[in-house]
Chain A
Amino acid sequence: MTPGKIDSEQVKHLGKLARLELSPEEVADYTLQLEQILGAITSISAVAADHIPPTSHPIPMENVYREDIAVRGLEINDFASGAPSFEDDRFRVPRILGEPG
């Protein structure tokens, strides 16, 4: 993919990966919006120098760990009501097309 360039075929493909059903109007809208976002990022790329590694975390830190101690988390009542559908103590989701990921 050329930086700052995105076409409607790529947007359709992303929609498919994200399991989103996009109308032709939405594809056109998103193509335009994504192109603007990528354009902004391209202007940053223009000043990126070879000797500066890409940043993956804003604060220079390494080796942050948690001790291996198990703690009781949430109770079902804490989160079940936030789910669109909940059944038999499990999250109910629509039928999955295709095979498991």
Chain B
Amino acid sequence: MTTEYQAVFAEFEPIIGLETHIELGTNSKMFCSCSAQFGGDPNTHVCPVCLGLPGSMPVVNRVAVESTIRMGLALNCSIAQWCRFARKNYFYPDMPKNYQISQYDEPLCSDGYLDVTVPTENGPQVFRVEIERVHMEEDTGKLLHAGGAGRIHGATHSLVDYNRAGIPLIEVVTKPILGTGELAPEIAKAYVSELRDLMRALGVSDVRMEEGSLRCDVNVSLNRQGEGWGTRTETKNVNSLRSVERAVRTEMVRQAEQLRLGELIILETRHFNEETGDTTSGRSKEEAEDYRYFPEPDLVPVAPSESWIEKLRGTLPEIPSVRRARLQNNWGISEFDMQSLVNAGALELIIASIDAGVQPSAARKWWTGELTRVANERDCELEELTVTPADIAQIEGLIFEGVLTDKMARSVFEGLLDGEGNVAEVIDSRGLVVVKDDDLLVEAINQALSESPDIAEKIKSGKVAAAGAIVGAVMKSTKGQADAAKVRTLLLEQLGVKE
């Protein structure tokens, strides 16, 4: 794969472009008051507007507009003084109106940029991704293809749930991204990851990728060096960060193969297969784009005043890249270390752990060490592990109180990762409690001393270093559940020796 991938660059240069749809975390839908909550029993978040019943009229959700403007400002865009919604006409049952309300030639936000950082051989490199537009639209309903094992081919009929229809979406479209070279897949992934973090920081969406609340369309084209732009393909519905990276890579390799054989790339929609990482041909693009857009007559224009925009600008949080620089400085770590914990998906978990009361160094140690190792081993994301920032706070608290040793803490993590229950349950079932009772420890110390009278004499004569052997014996007899430092102090006390 790597060599096949490297070979692409001997002849071709890639150009990529990304269209990202993100569901906003509003209470209600874009154009009606139905709940915008994910899921729910089928067709229970619906009303005449989102069912497209005759005579029903849409009204715009104020928070959805504000969220889009805030996103636009955070992406350094200009905000339109006046813009309209448009009807995108198509006949498919995921939209009962036979059109989707979107924005076309008058997007609310345009011409911005987002700086993303990608790891390279020469250290982290910042790459500026230019943003073409950010606009508002509504999500579509969900189709269940019945009678053909859930697949569209061979299905006898489809069943439609309109709960998702009308949930506010924002679409962020990049300008063609040139000059990425071999880094195209990494830049695509870093861009989507940064966009997700920005949405979360703004609080406009919690971006639950596993629920499909962020979906990416990936445009890729190749051109021979020094020649004009090649024909692009659009790979639809790429739903995870890893898949974005893979989709760009696979499509570049596939197009290079085609072009080498002297075949033409067709302007088309392709589908990404999450399991195989392949893309397959969908419909041809010219036909699909015959949407006959026109201004939505049922809605009035959106014309945000300067004062409204400035008020929203005042609500912008620290943007993720600035926040990362600040934290890196506070924690006193290198840019490389910061970048690797970001890449491991550990940053937010570390911050949440610190917020829960864990020392920064301890939070970093657990998330980037043991837990990252396990996540890699299981080929999953850190946040999918059954360990939470609250668990780490609890375990660190127990270490501080002397209830757990560092070694026992590792055992608790093992138990948590293996789904043995919560922290208290794992400690209980694994019998992990430090022996704190001094009398019990003194008893164990005297036992060890009586078994090695020669060492006892050495210590008494001032060779304090010999104490290690006795401490070791006590740790062994208490099955590692004693605090070694405590044992040592008690031992010296017992023998009347001072350090």
Contacts and interface: CB of A to CB of B under 8 A. Distances in A.
Q: Could you tell me the dominant secondary structure of chain A's interface residues? A: loop
Contact of B61 (A65, A79, A99): A65
Contacts of B42: 88-90
Contact of B93 (A13, A87, A88, A93): A93
Interface string A63-76: 11111111111101
A94 B47 CA distance: 23
B159 A87 contact: yes
A88 B159 contact: yes
Contact of A100 (B33, B43, B53, B92): B92
Interface residues of B, number: 66
A38 B45 CA distance: 40
Given A17-B290, A93-B157, A100-B92, A65 B65 contact: yes
B303 A17 contact: no
A66 B300 contact: no
A96 B51 contact: no
A65 to B, nearest CB: 4
A51 interface: no
Interface in B79-125: 82, 84, 89-96
Contacts of B45: 73
Given A64-B300, A95-B157, A73 B33 contact: yes
Q: Could you tell me the dominant secondary structure of chain B's interface residues? A: loop
Nearest to A87: B159
B297 interface: yes
Contacts of A63: 300-304
Interface in A5-40: 13, 17-19
Given A90-B42, A92-B159, A70 B33 contact: yes
Interface string B27-56: 110001111110001111111101101000
Interface of B: 26-28, 32-37, 41-48, 50-51, 53, 59-65, 82, 84, 89-96, 140, 143-145, 152, 155-162, 269, 271, 282-283, 288, 290, 292, 295-297, 299-304
